[in-house]
Chains A and B, each alone.
Chain A
Amino acid sequence: MAGLELKSLYKSYGEVEVIKGVDLSVDHGEFVVFVGPSGCGKSTLLRMIAGLEEITGGELWIGDTLCNAVEPRDRGIAMVFQSYALYPHMTVYENMGFGLKLAKTPKDVRDAKIREAARILQMENLLERKPGQLSGGQRQRVAIGRAIVRKPEVFLFDEPLSNLDAALRVDMRMELSKLHDELGSTMIYVTHDQVEAMTLADKIVVLNGGVVQQVGSPIELYQRPANLFVAGFIGSPKMNFAPVNVDRVEGTSVTISGKDIAAMTLEIPLNAVQAGDVLTIGVRPHDLVPSPSGAIVGRIGLIERLGNETNVNIELPSGASWLAVLDGDQALQRGASLIMNLDRAKIAVFDAGGQAVTAEKPLA
Chain B
Amino acid sequence: MADMTQSGLAVTPARIAAPRRRSPYPGWFFLPAAIIYGVLFLLPTVASLYFSLTRWTLFNSTFIGLDNFAQFLREPFLIKGLINTVIYAVITSSMKVVLGLLLAVLLTSQIAARGYLRSVVFFPVLVSTVGVGITFTVLMHPTNGMINEGLALLGIKGPGWLVNPNLALYSVALVDVWKGVGLATVIYIAGIVAIPRDYYEAARIDGATKLQNFFYITLPLCRPATSTVIILSFIGGLRTFDLIWAMTRGGPGFASDTVASVIYKQYQSGFYGLSTAGNVVLFVLIAVLVVPLTMMLNRKEGHE
Partners in one complex: yes
Question: Which residues in A have some Cβ–Cβ distance to B below 8 Å?
Answer: 7-8, 10, 12, 15, 17, 20-21, 51, 54-59, 68-71
Contact A57–B16 (Cβ < 8 Å): yes
Question: Nearest Cβ distance between residue B295 and chain A, in whole angstroms?
Answer: 29
Q: Could you tell me how many residues of chain B have their Cβ less than 8 Å away from some Cβ of chain A?
A: 14
A305 to B202, CA, bound (A): 38
Distance (Å) between the CB of A158 and the closest chain B CB? 17
Chain B residues with Cβ under 8 A from A55's Cβ?
A: 18
B98 is an interface residue with CB less than 8 A from chain A? no
Q: Please name all residues of chain A whose beta carbon is closer than 8 Å to the beta carbon of B6 when the two chains form the complex.
A: 12, 15
Q: What's the minimum C-beta distance from A340 to chain B, rounded to whole angstroms? A: 45
> Closest B-chain residue to A20, C-beta based?
B9
| Interface pair B14/A56, CB less than 8 Å apart | no
Contact A68/B18 with A17-B7, A21-B9 known, Cβ cut-off 8 Å: yes
Assuming A10-B10, A20-B9, what are 20 further A-B pairs, CB within 8 angstroms? A7-B14, A8-B12, A10-B9, A12-B6, A21-B14, A21-B15, A54-B18, A55-B18, A56-B18, A57-B17, A58-B15, A58-B16, A58-B18, A59-B16, A59-B18, A68-B18, A69-B18, A69-B19, A69-B20, A71-B21
Cα A15 to Cα B7 in complex, Å, equals 9
Cβ of B3 within 8 Å of any chain A Cβ, yes or no, is yes
Residues of chain B within 8 A (CB-CB) of A70 are 21
11 A-B Cβ contacts within 8 A? Answer: A20-B9, A51-B21, A56-B18, A57-B17, A58-B18, A59-B16, A59-B18, A68-B19, A69-B19, A69-B20, A71-B21
CB B42 to nearest CB in A, in angstroms, measures: 31
CB within 8 Å for A8 and B18 given contacts A20-B9, A21-B9, A57-B10: no
- A54-B21 contact in complex given A10-B9, A21-B14, A59-B16, C-beta closer than 8 Å: yes
- The distance from the CB of A41 to the nearest CB of chain B, in whole angstroms, is 15
Q: Which residue of A lies closest to B18 (CB)?
A: A68
Q: Is the CB of B21 within 8 A of A8?
A: no
Residue numbers in B under 8 Å from A20 (CB-CB): 9
Interface centre among A7, A10, A17, A68 (most CB of B within 10 A): A10
With a cutoff of 8 Å between Cβ atoms, the chain B residues found around residue A21 in the complex are: 9, 12, 14-15
Residues of chain B within 8 A (CB-CB) of A68 are 18-19
A10-B9, A21-B9 known; A57 and B15 CB under 8 Å?
yes
Contact residues in B for A10 (Cβ distance below 8 Å) = 9-10, 15
CB of A58 within 8 A of CB of B14, answer yes
Q: Are A8 and B15 neighbours in the complex by a CB distance under 8 Å?
A: yes
Secondary structure call for the B interface: loop
Q: How far is the CB of A144 from chain B (nearest CB, A)?
A: 23
| Residues of chain A contacted by B9 (CB below 8 angstroms) | 10, 17, 20-21
Query: Which residues in A have their C-beta under 8 angstroms from that of B14?
Result: 7-8, 21, 58
**Residues in A neighbouring B7, C-beta threshold 8 A:** 17
Residues from chain A with a CB closer than 8 A to the CB of B19 are 68-69
How far does the Cβ of A57 sit from chain B's closest Cβ, in whole Å? 4
Determine if B10 and A69 form an interchain contact, defined as CB atoms under 8 angstroms apart: no
Q: For the complex, give the distance between the alpha carbons of A70 and B19 in Å.
A: 10
Q: How far is the CB of A15 from chain B (nearest CB, A)?
A: 8
Task: List the 8 closest A-B pairs by CB distance, nearest first.
Answer: A8-B14, A68-B18, A57-B15, A69-B19, A55-B18, A69-B21, A10-B15, A59-B16
* Complex CA–CA separation, A60 to B94 (angstroms): 61
Q: With A8-B14, A8-B15, A21-B14 in contact, is A56–B21 under 8 Å at CB?
A: no
Q: Considering the complex, which residues of chain B in the window 1-47 have a beta carbon less than 8 Å from any beta carbon of chain A?
A: 3, 6-7, 9-10, 12, 14-21
Min CB–CB distance B26 → chain A (angstroms): 13
Nearest-neighbor residue (CB-CB) of A23 within chain B: B14
- In the bound complex, CA of A51 to CA of B21 (Å): 9
For B21, list chain A residues within 8 Å (CB).
Answer: 51, 54, 69-71
**Bound-complex Cα distance A58 to B10 (A):** 10
How far is B15's CA from A55's CA once the two chains are assembled, in angstroms?
11
Closest Cβ–Cβ distance, residue A313 to chain B (whole Å): 36
Shortest CB distance A272–B (Å)? 29
Residues of chain B within 8 A of A59, CB atoms compared:
16, 18
Residue on B nearest A70 in the bound complex, by CB: B21
Q: Which of A12, A51, A71 has most chain B Cβ within 10 Å?
A: A12
How many angstroms between the C-alpha atoms of A165 and B9 in the bound complex? 42
Residues A57 and B20 in contact, CB atoms below 8 Å apart = no
Bound: A15/B15 CA distance, A: 16
Q: A297 CA to B21 CA in the complex, in Å?
A: 61
Q: Which residue of B lies closest to A12 (CB)?
A: B6
Q: Closest residue to B21 on the A side, CB-wise?
A: A69
State how many angstroms separate the Cβ of A48 from the closest Cβ of chain B. 10
Q: In chain B, what residue has the closest Cβ to A68?
A: B18
Docked complex Cα distance between A15 and B19 (Å): 19
**Would A56 and B3 count as touching, CB distance under 8 A?**
yes
Could you tell me the distance between the alpha carbons of A36 and B300 in the complex, rounded to whole angstroms?
41
In the bound assembly, the distance between CA atoms of A71 and B19 in angstroms comes to 12
A122 to B124: give the CA distance in the assembly, Å. Answer: 55
B4 → A minimal CB distance (Å): 11
A65 to chain B, nearest CB (A): 14
Bound complex: CA of A56 vs CA of B16, how far in Å?
A: 8
B17, closest chain A residue (CB):
A57
With a cutoff of 8 Å between Cβ atoms, the chain A residues found around residue B18 in the complex are: 54-59, 68-69
> Which chain A residue has the least Cβ–Cβ distance from B23?
A54
Please measure, in the bound complex, the distance between the C-alpha atom of A17 and the C-alpha atom of B14, giving whole angstroms: 16
Chain A neighbourhood of B16, CB < 8 A: 8, 57-59
Q: Report the bound CA distance from A324 to B3 in whole Å.
A: 50
- Nearest residue, chain B, Cβ from A60: B18
A116 vs B17: C-alpha distance when bound (angstroms): 42
How far is the CB of B170 from the nearest CB of chain A, in Å? 51
Residues of B close to A12: CB separation below 8 A:
6
Nearest chain A residue, comparing its CB with the CB of B19 = A69
